[in-house]
């Protein structure tokens, strides 16, 4: 099992604080590999709010009572409010990976409403995005290192996440057919899992019994981008992270994210970001 977390004032106790509108108390992640199960049972809930993002696999939630099980697949977020009954499980067999953040404050309910999260919402679909994961990882880092103004930075990062949620929940879902939504979900997850390999869109569509034109059209309706645009965005996002956090050569990073030709990788990166990989790395390090 992999876990990484950070806590305000290094305290693991949940708390209620109304001195400011919004306060991040803790943030973390779990990824189950060998550990068979992580169960959570809080019949009286917590004092704060809890937002959980299922980034891979599935998670099992019991809303309201222990017998009412809801299986929540990757790409969804789950919100618990203070003092709500909590029971949920993560299983290694499901290859579950989740991120979570706890927060409190004097105006949280109204803030959530302003971002389109109504009082009756527990589960809402967000899709899979490395941007969400990067926000959670930044919050973990801020809580662990406690740099200057870190509490304000935590609030800004949480608001960033809430803005992304608002954009997603307020966007009309064009696909109403459950079969279509399931197929596009599976495709997005497949591309996330295999983005650095040589993916043939026509072969993938055929493997799912779809024509390539039908698949591309519906995938774009579902995600806002074509399959190749989606794959490229994942590759470039991961390349950015490697340029920012490692000393790997640019050509090696290109190979890691799926580009065998270093010149082609540099050209694609420049087209997406307006900088060559080397220029981007210099700018990133200058900001540190």
The 3-state DSSP class for residue 66 equals coil
Structure tokens of 8?
């305000």
Euclidean distance between CA atoms 113 and 133, whole angstroms:
23
Model confidence at 233, pLDDT cuts 50, 70, 90, reads: very high
Q: Per residue in 104-161, pLDDT tens?
A: 999 999 999 999 999 989 998 888 888 899 999 999 999 999 999 999 999 999 999 9
pLDDT score, position 105: 97
Domain chopping of the chain, boundaries: 2-170, 178-287
The mean pLDDT value for 224-237 works out to: 93
Euclidean distance between CA atoms 8 and 27, whole angstroms:
9
Model confidence at 254, pLDDT cuts 50, 70, 90, reads: very high
Angle at Cα 101 formed by Cα 95 and Cα 103, nearest 5°?
Answer: 160
All residues at 6 or more sequence positions from 31 whose CB lies less than 8 Å from its CB, including other chains: 1, 2, 3, 56, 96, 97
Structure tokens of 61?
């939630």
Q: Burial-class residue 120 by CB neighbours within 10 Å (0-12, 13-18, 19+).
A: exposed
- Of residues 20 and 92, more confidence is placed in 20
Q: Per residue in 171-214, pLDDT tens?
A: 765 545 667 877 888 899 899 999 999 999 999 998 888 889 99
The mean pLDDT value for 213-238 works out to: 92
For 204, the enclosing helix (H) or strand (E) is: helix 201-207
pLDDT score, position 198: 92
pLDDT score, position 177: 64
Does the pLDDT value for residue 46 go beyond 90? yes
The hierarchical CATH code for the domain 178-287 is: 1.10.10.60
Q: What percentage of the chain has pLDDT greater than the value 90?
A: 65
pLDDT score, position 181: 78
Architecture of the 2-170 domain: Sandwich (2.60)
pTM for this model (two decimals): 0.64
Positive or negative torsion for Cα 63, 66, 68, 71: positive
Euclidean distance between CA atoms 220 and 259, whole angstroms:
23
pLDDT score, position 175: 46
Q: What percentage of the chain has pLDDT greater than the value 70?
A: 96
pLDDT score, position 11: 86
pLDDT score, position 208: 86
Does the pLDDT value for residue 232 go beyond 80? yes
- Of residues 273 and 176, more confidence is placed in 273
Euclidean distance between CA atoms 201 and 54, whole angstroms:
26
Contact 205, 267 (CB under 8 A): no
pLDDT score, position 8: 94
pLDDT score, position 132: 93
pLDDT score, position 182: 79
Structure tokens of 286?
């200058």
**Runs of H (alpha helix) within 108-177:** 108-114, 130-145, 150-170
User: Across the chain, how many H-helices and E-strands are there?
Assistant: 10, 10
**Runs of H (alpha helix) within the chain:** 108-114, 130-145, 150-170, 178-194, 201-207, 212-223, 227-245, 250-257, 262-273, 277-287
């Amino acid at each position: 099992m992999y876990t990484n977390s950070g806590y305000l004032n290094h305290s693991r106790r949940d708390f209620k604080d109304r001195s400011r509108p919004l306060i991040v108390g803790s943030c973390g992640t779990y990824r189950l590999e060998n550990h068979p199960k992580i169960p959570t049972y809080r019949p009286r809930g917590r004092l704060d709010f809890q937002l959980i993002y299922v980034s891979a696999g599935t998670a099992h939630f019991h809303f309201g009572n222990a017998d009412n099980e809801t299986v929540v697949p990757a790409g969804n977020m789950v919100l618990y409010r203070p003092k709500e009954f909590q029971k949920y499980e993560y299983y290694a067999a499901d290859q579950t990976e989740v991120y979570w953040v706890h927060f409190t404050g004097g105006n949280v309910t109204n803030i959530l409403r302003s971002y389109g999260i109504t009082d009756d919402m527990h589960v809402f679909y967000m899709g899979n995005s490395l941007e969400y994961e990067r926000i959670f990882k930044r919050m973990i880092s801020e809580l662990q290192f406690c740099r200057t103004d870190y509490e304000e930075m935590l609030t800004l990062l949480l608001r960033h996440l809430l803005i992304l949620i608002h954009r997603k929940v307020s966007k009309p879902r064009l696909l109403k057919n459950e079969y279509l939504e399931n197929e596009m979900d599976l495709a997005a997850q497949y591309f996330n899992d295999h983005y650095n390999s040589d993916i043939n869109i026509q072969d993938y569509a055929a493997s799912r019994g779809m024509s390539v034109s039908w698949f591309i059209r519906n995938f774009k309706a579902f995600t806002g981008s074509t399959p190749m645009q989606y794959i490229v965005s994942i590759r470039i996002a991961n390349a950015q992270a490697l340029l920012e956090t490692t000393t790997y050569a640019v050509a090696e990073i290109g190979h890691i994210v799926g580009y065998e030709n270093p010149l082609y990788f540099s050209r694609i990166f420049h087209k997406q970001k307006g900088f060559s990989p080397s220029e981007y790395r210099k700018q990133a390090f200058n900001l540190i």
